[in-house]
Structure 1
Amino acid sequence: MRRLNGIFAGTALVAVIATPSATWAQDADPAAPDEIVVTAQKREQRLIDVPSAVTAVSGDALTQRNLTRIEQFAAFTPGISFSEGLTGPQLTVRGLNASGQGATTAILVDDVPLTSSSSYQQSTTPNFDTYDLERIEVLRGPQGTLYGASALGGLVKYVTKAPNLSRVEGSAQLELNHVDDGETGGSVRAALNLPVIQDSVAIRVSGLYERLPGYIDNPLGNKRNVNSGERYGVRGALLWQATPDFSVRLSGIWQRDDRDAPVSIDVVGAALTPATPPENATSIANRGALQRNLRLGEPIKRKSQLYSATLNYDVGFASITSITSLAKMNFQRRKVLTHYNAAPGVTFGDVLSGAYGQPVDIRSNDFTAVRRINQEIRLASAPDSGPIDYLVGLFYTDEKSSIAQFFDVTSVTTPPEILTLPVPGGGLSVPARYRELAGFAQLTWHVLPTVEVTGGARYSRNRQRSQTTRFAGFVSQSFVDVTDPASKTKEGKATWSGAISWHPAERVTLYARVATGYRPGGPNLVPAAPPPGYRTSYGADTTVNYELGAKGELFTRRLTFDISAFSVDWTNIQIPTSVVDPDTGVPNNFTDNGGKARSRGVEYALRLAASPQLSFFVNGAYTDAKLRAAVPSIGGLRGDRLPYVPTFTNTAGFDYRVPVGGDATIFLGADWTYVGSRNSDFVVGGLAAPQTGHERLPSYSTVNLQGGVELGQHRLDLYVTNVGNARGLYYYLSGDGAGGTGNAIVQQPRTFGVRFRSNF
């Protein structure tokens, strides 16, 4: 804490002493940004008043910079890092990432949690389109008090636009783009707001269709641009203002994301020696060409649905809010396992070819589904109603999920033939259920007009059940269908938070915060005869976050700043491990608790409106996230960096607007993002069959350019993303490639685009 105190003291000293009293004026300069209001604490507040680290990206900013997906806006948020495995996107806040399967960052839409509480459902994390959003809020640090489970490191909240009761408005956008050495893609997006009964009932609808261009070739399968795909969806809302004090809002989102193959390529890898990889293990194979050599395809399909009803009733001294929601998320994938290690240097293809007496391929057909019902009701005191603000509430969730995996063993002939002799590939099915009831409360005491103290607590109780059925087959190691005993767990968890904030000026906040978070434990998939050392369940892992920060607006709001220093202790970490059955020699994988980690760092975001035409921005983070104790089961040593967490990230850029007469304005913009080196996962697949060995992924920089013209309500953009054609890697496996190569997820190459948008 002494290191944090020193950092914070220096920050506060510069912010307060270097600014003369005249700069505290409340009148904003014409170049200043619009006021940002957020709901991070489940009530509307100015962003600069929230006593914690929060980043808000407005819908207009998302549209202007074409930030339509998680991986794009993550670069504009300090303290958040993006990686993408073979099952989908993963966000890490403040470095809290290990080799476990469960999410450490929660995803919400309008206070509705979407992240599965099960450790087996990370592949269902949605990646919603950002068109026609009000804003995206990123809350850094544990949020267990108000948001509960899985907000271990922080959360991302999509805030949708409410229907406008008094005005018809809308927008439409057309886009065309082309990827270097790849395909041409494009999109159509539109939104419409329509009052049905003036000042009483209105609807808002938006939709999109996007063709995702491919740019990865498969010479072995004689196919080009195999990772092409499409994305389409619709979002709608109805708002009924029944009385000045009572409103009902019904909302729905439906989105589909399909790709013919993941964004993965062959790298040099270390399939034969995963524990001692060569220096160029993460270098792109095939002379630098973006290729993935497979005989079979690996299509991916993802569908996300959310339906909610929000009731608000103002009773004078307080407001009552009820949120009822249903979320459905489905994920389907075909994954070629032919080149996956069964043991170092021995692939599943090698093993099965011997068993079937001919060269074979093996492919898994994976299906995951989540259906989650949530109910939250809360009571919040009216604004400015006294020296104490309060918020109390109850939360209930009932989540049913299922995982199914079926294996096809096929000949290498054209077309391939599914082999069933001597036995079929087999498979398994795992239905599960998670139920949770929680109560929470938060109080804010306005000690002085400029000093506030906030404290809160939450207690959650969950019950879980899962059961595995293994279908006869070679891969599932069974000649008959077997249903294992049901696994059940119960767990209670308390989380809390506290903060003190001081406003030395009307638009400046200095704060200190302590908060806790957790990720639920749960049952393991217990075999009928578990070997010695097999754990039938695992417990919750927890975080404690210590934070000091300063945020505000200076020089008539032309300079905005948000700086925080943090230290997070992570204990009882959920980790994958395995034990070998002494009778069969087969490794049995399960989740266990072990080890501890600490993440320390500094986050910063600055924006300067140098003039009404020109503004500059910079944001980034220094994060030192390491294990504090060895974790032998995953090959982790004390002092090892946590996976996929860069020590340093930074984004800087500018926006320039020049009126040229009438309604016409020319604009230019550029941004540069640096992502430091990271390490891949600790051992994945168990020490008996390692798939990676914590390799170092090189740093990379990305430059984006855009420019165009605005004519009243119309806007034409020209842009280039990844100008330098960087080859940043998001994910790495030491094997899994044909010919003993590795596998990695790569960022999209240089892309040229044109976009036209019209508002009305």
Structure 2
Amino acid sequence: MIRRAGISLAALALAAAPAAVMAQSRPPEAQTPARVFDIPAGPLATALDRFSRQSGKPVLYRSAEVEAVRSDGARGSLSPDAALGAVLSGTGFEARRDRSGAVAIVRSAAPAEGGAQTSRLDDVVVTATKRSENVRQIAGSVTALNNAALEQIGADELDEYIGFVPGVTFNRQSSTVTIRGVSTTTGLDQGQGSTGYFINDVPLTDPYYSVGVPNIDGFDVESIAVLRGPQGTLFGSASLGGAINYKAATPKLDVLEFHGETALESVHEGATGGTAKAALNLPVIDGRLAVRGTYVYREDAGYIDNLGTGTPDENRGVTQGGRFQALWSPAEGTTVSYLYLDQTQRSEGTSSDRPTLYGELANSTVVPNRSKFATRIHSLRLDQDLGFGTLTATATHHEKALAAVTDITAAYGAFVPGVSPLLATQDYGSKGETFEVRLVSKPGRFEYLVGVMYDRTRERFTDRYLGEGAAASIETAWADTFGPGIGAAAAPEDVFFTSDLPFVGTESAVFGEASYKLTPELKLTLGGRLFKTESETTSRSSGFFLLFSGDVLAQELDGSQSEDGFNPKVSLSWTPDDHLMAYATVSKGFRFGGPNVNAGLPGENIPPTFSSDSLINYEVGVRSTLLDGRWLLDASLFYIDWSDIQLRLGTPTGLAYGTNAAGAENKGVEVSSVLFPFEGLSLRTAVTYLDASLTEGFEPGAGAPTVPSGTTLPGAAKWKVSNILSYDWTAAPLSPTLVLTHQYVSESYSDFEATGGTPQGDYSKFGARLELAIRPTLDLTLYADNIFDERGTSGGFVDAESFVRSIERPRTVGATLRFRGF
């Protein structure tokens, strides 16, 4: 659908040729003498570039159309026509020539065997199994969106594409993702989260309380794969419910390429925003060394008014940064790659409103709630073809930092009367190194993967509560209770609470999978991960609040926890032909445990540590290709047995701690359908039914009522539906493409209902996009999101003041220009 012309370096002279002229058919060239071609199997774009270089014939193609398609290549003494025919065989594309003899690669009039209709958006190569594999050949619940699919729905951010993936929910309150209902909160977990986040297989998840989840912009991303169900065998901790793996676009060794986009949009009852993005691929040594740079600036328009500061549309957000990659192939079969990522996300105010107190799209604080979150990654990777397999070694340094200021005047003003504003400052950070070495066999009847990994991450969480005049206020209000001089002692320099929590977590593992084809149709896969996790921390806190829980002004608590185990996986798949796969899988997940950082009062019995949950996923599924490739229908049925759940509980004095308690059953059905009724029209539908509830209740403590068995897990909406209808007028002027989208999520609760969880969900959103090919290298897209301005609640809680709601962004209209050069 996106008609940006991607032009190989050999085809620069043809860039100005009108697309209509290039698509005209003409008789084949006269017989050309044979020559030796060496074009290995791989991405179609790379194969076409190699053909152009080896044949000396310019080739013109659209990169967005062929980027996810693979070619079997061509080798041997062949005529150029025969070599090009071999390169295109089975891809769903064909070569056509204009009157000058220039070659254009266009989509075939009829679907290729196996469904060429689907090649642009659905034939996506991912590394969900730690090996490059077409997503439709994976025996498991994996949904992948390539760059063309992301552009089709206009997805920049995590929440903009995750809504179209079955079995997955975006928690706007914390910018986290829940997969198959595996979560006990729509906020941040007590310890490590239940969903893993990766880029190029590099972990972005923290081992303890999360510093933050980077929202990687979808521009110049080759694919985003969402793996549903536990992925502990290959991806390790944090993938208890599943994982999300970004794959950045890889540098191309022999193509000079540039593309970019800019957008301007307006939010109803809000401000305006926009984007500026660019990517450049530059071959340095032809066929040997290339670099690729990506830059992103995105300004998200605000729409929440701060009545306290008098600032309209205060929640403006800015994402800025990019990636630099280098790819070096010093010899045949050897590649060395480097990835540098640097991204900063800034928020100028809260994105929540208080509708019962101030009305819709309004909040009130004495000072703005601002935050800055930065992510930085250095990753070096070696891939060596050993003939019988590929050896991959990676070394990564990763770091994240969060700095935030929050107005806490309303929440704590009673303790420090007369002082305004009262502020909470957060200075959080994590730094670590991850190393992995793995050996992956060549495809065959017997396939295997073995590897080792090690990660050491250091986190630090520093919180300070302060306000000018706090010491004097505490002295005046509390001297009769705690004695004279309490103000200066409990709030030195007007800081009335300080907490410093350093944490070190290490994970080491040996992992592997082996597959054997019992028959040509039946394949058995066995896998496992032998792991060990270790945690150490020293919690230091001081200040006024400690007097209420321990009658002290300072305390220090050391803690450590370690755990080891084996994480197994078994899978059996049956593939009678290219149009059907059925599979059954049993997999297990795990995550870090950790020490508790509060000692509690005598008799409160806070456990010193909490450990990993126990979670086993049972799943059967089918992938089918019907109607000669015009209908893809996938379905999975799953049952999750979750026990010893990590929970955050509270003491009578209000201290929070982690423990293992209760159990849950998550069961459901996920269905994905892609239908091509006729040329140009496609309908994509995803439906999820989920029943996720406790099988054992628990006592949350801190005066809260019992959470009984049968309670629905937080954020576990029973129904989720999405639709994407697209029609492509290829023969009309400007080749317009119309895309209509719909998303529905049923009601759920932001937390356990008994502990004050608030309703969310139960709303639909509709969107529309019209794309026009202004020139072969320039597209214009006009769009409207949330057309009916649905004020859907996507998260919330109740504090001392009122109900706080995370709300869907109001109706947004805008335009995007995408362009490609060279």
Normalising TM by the smaller chain, what interval?
0.7 to 0.9
Q: 1:722 maps to what in 2?
A: 786
Does the 8 Å contact 1:400/1:433 carry over to 2? yes
Report the Cα offset of residue 30 of structure 1: 5.6
Q: 1:681 maps to what in 2?
A: 751
Does the 8 Å contact 1:484/1:526 carry over to 2? no
Q: 2:416 maps to what in 1?
A: 352
Counterpart code for 1:602: V
SS at match of 2:151: helix
Does the 8 Å contact 2:426/2:462 carry over to 1? yes
Pair 475,747 (structure 1): closer, same or farther in 2 beyond 3 Å: farther
Counterpart code for 2:675: L
Does the 8 Å contact 1:497/1:515 carry over to 2? yes
Report the Cα offset of residue 262 of structure 1: 2.4
1:295 to 2:295 alignment: no
Post-superposition Cα deviations, 1:389-433, rounded to whole Å, max 9, x if no partner, equal 110100100000000000013579xxxxxx976733221100010
Unaligned stretches of 5+ in structure 2?
1-110, 471-476, 478-486
Post-superposition Cα deviations, 1:536-572, rounded to whole Å, max 9, x if no partner, equal 1111112100001001322222111221010001111
Does the 8 Å contact 1:428/1:476 carry over to 2? no
Q: Identify which of structures 1 and 2 has the higher relative contact order when contacts are C-alpha pairs closer than 8 Å and 6+ apart.
A: 1
1:383 to 443, 446, 469: 443
1:409 to 451, 456, 467: 467
Report the Cα offset of residue 363 of structure 1: 2.3
Does the 8 Å contact 2:114/2:625 carry over to 1? no
Pair 37,466 (structure 1): closer, same or farther in 2 beyond 3 Å: same
Does the 8 Å contact 1:191/1:204 carry over to 2? yes
Counterparts of 1:212-251 in structure 2, within 5 Å, are 212-251=300-339
1:651 to 2:651 alignment: no
Report the Cα offset of residue 39 of structure 1: 1.3
Q: 2:268 maps to what in 1?
A: 180
1:693 to 756, 765, 769: 756
1:615 to 655, 662, 682: 682
The separation in 2 between residues aligned to 1:126 and 1:95, in whole angstroms, is 21
The separation in 2 between residues aligned to 1:530 and 1:228, in whole angstroms, is 47
The separation in 2 between residues aligned to 1:480 and 1:530, in whole angstroms, is 14
CA RMSD of aligned residues (A): 2.1
1:596 to 2:669 alignment: no
Report the Cα offset of residue 326 of structure 1: 0.9
Q: Percent identity?
A: 26
SS at match of 2:306: coil
The separation in 1 between residues aligned to 2:697 and 2:281, in whole angstroms, is 56
1:441 to 2:512 alignment: yes
Post-superposition Cα deviations, 1:40-97, rounded to whole Å, max 9, x if no partner, equal 1111222122111000001111123211111111111000001122xx3110000111
Report the Cα offset of residue 338 of structure 1: 3.2
The separation in 2 between residues aligned to 1:591 and 1:378, in whole angstroms, is 35
1:665 to 712, 723, 735: 735
Q: 1:756 maps to what in 2?
A: 817
Q: 1:202 maps to what in 2?
A: 290
Does the 8 Å contact 2:282/2:292 carry over to 1? yes
SS at match of 1:131: coil
1:108 to 2:180 alignment: no
Does the 8 Å contact 1:467/1:483 carry over to 2? no
Pair 698,132 (structure 1): closer, same or farther in 2 beyond 3 Å: closer
2:803 to 735, 742, 755: 742
The separation in 2 between residues aligned to 1:557 and 1:470, in whole angstroms, is 63
SS at match of 1:467: strand
Post-superposition Cα deviations, 1:100-134, rounded to whole Å, max 9, x if no partner, equal 4331000001111111111x22x411111110000
Compute the TM-score of the two structures, normalised by the length of structure 2. Answer: 0.80
Does the 8 Å contact 2:348/2:368 carry over to 1? yes
Report the Cα offset of residue 474 of structure 1: 4.5
The separation in 1 between residues aligned to 2:136 and 2:600, in whole angstroms, is 56
The separation in 2 between residues aligned to 1:451 and 1:377, in whole angstroms, is 29
Counterpart code for 2:803: G
The separation in 1 between residues aligned to 2:678 and 2:340, in whole angstroms, is 41
Post-superposition Cα deviations, 1:490-539, rounded to whole Å, max 9, x if no partner, equal 11122111010001221321000000001211111043866531111111
Q: 2:699 maps to what in 1?
A: 632
Number of residue pairs aligned between Structure 1 and Structure 2 = 681
SS at match of 1:61: helix
Report the Cα offset of residue 744 of structure 1: 1.4
Pair 563,481 (structure 1): closer, same or farther in 2 beyond 3 Å: same
Does the 8 Å contact 1:56/1:135 carry over to 2? yes
Post-superposition Cα deviations, 1:195-252, rounded to whole Å, max 9, x if no partner, equal 0000000001110111221111011221111101211011111000111111100011
Does the 8 Å contact 1:262/1:300 carry over to 2? no
SS at match of 1:62: helix
The separation in 2 between residues aligned to 1:470 and 1:159, in whole angstroms, is 41
1:330 to 387, 394, 401: 401
Post-superposition Cα deviations, 1:295-351, rounded to whole Å, max 9, x if no partner, equal 1221011101111011011111121100111111111222223334xxxxxxx3223
Pair 601,479 (structure 1): closer, same or farther in 2 beyond 3 Å: closer
The separation in 2 between residues aligned to 1:151 and 1:169, in whole angstroms, is 36
SS at match of 1:484: strand
Counterparts of 1:251-650 in structure 2, within 5 Å, are 251-268=339-356, 285-287=357-359, 289-340=360-411, 348-353=412-417, 358=418, 360-384=420-444, 387-410=445-468, 423=491, 424=494, 425-474=496-545, 482-527=554-599, 531-580=603-652, 586-633=653-700, 635-650=706-721
The separation in 2 between residues aligned to 1:216 and 1:491, in whole angstroms, is 45
Counterpart code for 2:222: E
Counterpart code for 1:313: Q
SS at match of 2:362: coil
Compute the TM-score of the two structures, normalised by the length of structure 1. Answer: 0.86
Counterpart code for 2:604: P
Does the 8 Å contact 2:194/2:242 carry over to 1? yes
Counterpart code for 1:405: D
SS at match of 1:76: coil
The separation in 2 between residues aligned to 1:620 and 1:658, in whole angstroms, is 28
Does the 8 Å contact 1:707/1:718 carry over to 2? yes
SS at match of 1:435: strand
Unaligned stretches of 5+ in structure 1?
1-24, 269-284, 341-347, 413-418, 581-585, 684-689
Does the 8 Å contact 1:484/1:527 carry over to 2? no
SS at match of 2:590: strand
Does the 8 Å contact 1:32/1:556 carry over to 2? no
SS at match of 2:148: helix
Pair 505,116 (structure 1): closer, same or farther in 2 beyond 3 Å: same
Pair 483,712 (structure 1): closer, same or farther in 2 beyond 3 Å: same
Does the 8 Å contact 2:116/2:629 carry over to 1? no
Report the Cα offset of residue 480 of structure 1: 8.0
Q: 1:17 maps to what in 2?
A: none
Pair 30,697 (structure 1): closer, same or farther in 2 beyond 3 Å: closer
SS at match of 2:363: coil
SS at match of 1:146: helix
When Rg is computed on C-alpha atoms for both structures, the one with the higher figure is 2
Pair 30,311 (structure 1): closer, same or farther in 2 beyond 3 Å: closer
Pair 124,530 (structure 1): closer, same or farther in 2 beyond 3 Å: farther
The separation in 2 between residues aligned to 1:30 and 1:602, in whole angstroms, is 28
SS at match of 1:659: coil
Report the Cα offset of residue 602 of structure 1: 0.4
